């Protein structure tokens, strides 16, 4: 690890801890702890089971994209990589550190470009589907603040347009065709090969991935809803179709550990806009992280056992 990367990771860890400490100071640590102590364990356990089911759906989605490129790793290998990746997503200083782990591990057995490209499309189809769901439900959701509606439409609309442009491929290749080979998405450069994998799974595979993403995102929204119910949050289910996409985007911003702190701060104005006390909102977002971490421990055990097995073989 380079010195710059080490300092960047330390900064993100510091930001996560600092943000949480500031949050607890502003909201009241005792109030948040009180909310968490009264949380319904049965509902959180159900949320954890749904989270595990969501991983299985995402594995099928990744497999569809890989099959579109002619790469056919076993389902169980992909499930293992997803579980391990989920663990690293919760502890590394970014919301996509587990994606890097998946790429590295799969690239040891299959083409590196295919591994990178399909992981990008895997994540992208999930985001596009989530934004689309929010826009579909938004007209039927009453009671949201106008500023929140406008912000969501802007972010979701822009995200969908950018995602479609990225998946379509033709325009971006034309735009970058005159750039140096290292930066161009056309030609035979390394970046171009990765982008070929992004756009190469085929229309049918992408549509299948979007369908599976819709299933996963409905599960994901249900997880947030259950965590909200677990801490006594009385919020209409329709609101979650708008809030969850915005909360999920915080995981993509590499300024915290697994979104810890960043997601909690974003949750304050979102749920506060519909009358949820800050302590309850913080308890809900921290419960979501706890559920993610609990399922992530499965990946940790797999990673630990395989590492020890490898050492014993040597």
Q: Report DSSP state, residue 251.
A: G
Report yes or no: 247 and 95 within 8 Å, Cβ to Cβ.
no
Distance CA 134, CA 153 (A): 9
What is the four-CA torsion angle of 260, 36, 287, 91, rounded to 10 degrees? 40
- What pLDDT digit, counting tens, does each position of 108-156 carry? 655 566 677 778 888 889 999 999 999 999 998 888 889 999 999 999 9
- What pLDDT digit, counting tens, does each position of 242-285 carry? 999 998 888 776 655 556 667 777 888 899 889 998 889 888 98
Distance CA 47, CA 243 (A): 17
Report yes or no: 47 and 227 within 8 Å, Cβ to Cβ.
yes
Distance CA 274, CA 236 (A): 9
Indicate whether 9 pLDDT > 50.
no
The pLDDT assigned to 44 comes to 95
Domain boundaries, the chain: 3-313
Instruction: Give the residue-averaged pLDDT of 163-174.
Output: 87
Indicate whether 7 pLDDT > 50.
no
Report yes or no: 220 and 232 within 8 Å, Cβ to Cβ.
no
| pTM of the complete model | 0.84
CA atoms within 13 A on the CB side of 308: 6
- What pLDDT digit, counting tens, does each position of 38-95 carry? 999 999 999 999 999 999 999 999 999 888 888 888 899 889 888 888 887 787 655 5
């Amino acid at each position: 690890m380079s010195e710059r990367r080490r300092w960047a990771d330390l900064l993100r860890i510091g930001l996560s801890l600092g943000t949480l400490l500031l949050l607890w100071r502003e909201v009241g640590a005792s109030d948040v702890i009180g909310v968490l102590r009264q949380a319904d364990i049965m509902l959180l356990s159900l949320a954890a089971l749904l989270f595990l089911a969501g991983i299985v759906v995402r594995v099928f989605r990744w497999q569809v994209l890989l099959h579109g490129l002619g790469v056919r790793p076993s389902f169980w290998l992909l499930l293992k990589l997803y579980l391990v990746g989920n663990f690293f997503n919760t502890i590394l200083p970014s919301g996509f550190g587990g994606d890097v782990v998946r790429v590295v591990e799969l690239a040891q057995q299959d083409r590196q470009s295919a591994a990178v490209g399909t992981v990008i499309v895997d994540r992208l189809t999930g985001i596009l589907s989530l934004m689309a769901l929010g826009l579909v439900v938004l007209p039927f959701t009453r009671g949201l603040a106008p500023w929140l509606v406008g912000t969501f439409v802007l972010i979701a609309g822009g995200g969908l347009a950018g995602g479609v442009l990225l998946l379509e491929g033709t325009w971006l290749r034309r735009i970058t065709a005159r750039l140096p080979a290292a930066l161009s998405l056309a030609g035979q450069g390394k970046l171009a090969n990765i982008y070929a994998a992004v756009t190469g799974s085929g229309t049918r595979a992408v549509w299948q991935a979007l369908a599976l993403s819709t299933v996963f995102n409905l599960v994901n929204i249900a997880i947030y809803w259950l965590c909200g119910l677990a801490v006594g949050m009385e919020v209409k289910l329709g609101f979650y179709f708008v809030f969850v996409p915005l909360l999920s985007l915080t995981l993509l911003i590499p300024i915290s550990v697994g979104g810890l702190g960043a997601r909690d701060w974003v949750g304050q104005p979102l749920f506060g806009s519909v009358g949820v006390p800050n302590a309850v909102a913080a308890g809900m977002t921290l419960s979501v992280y706890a559920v993610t971490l609990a399922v992530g421990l499965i990946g940790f055990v797999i990673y630990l056992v395989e590492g020890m097995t490898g050492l014993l073989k040597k």
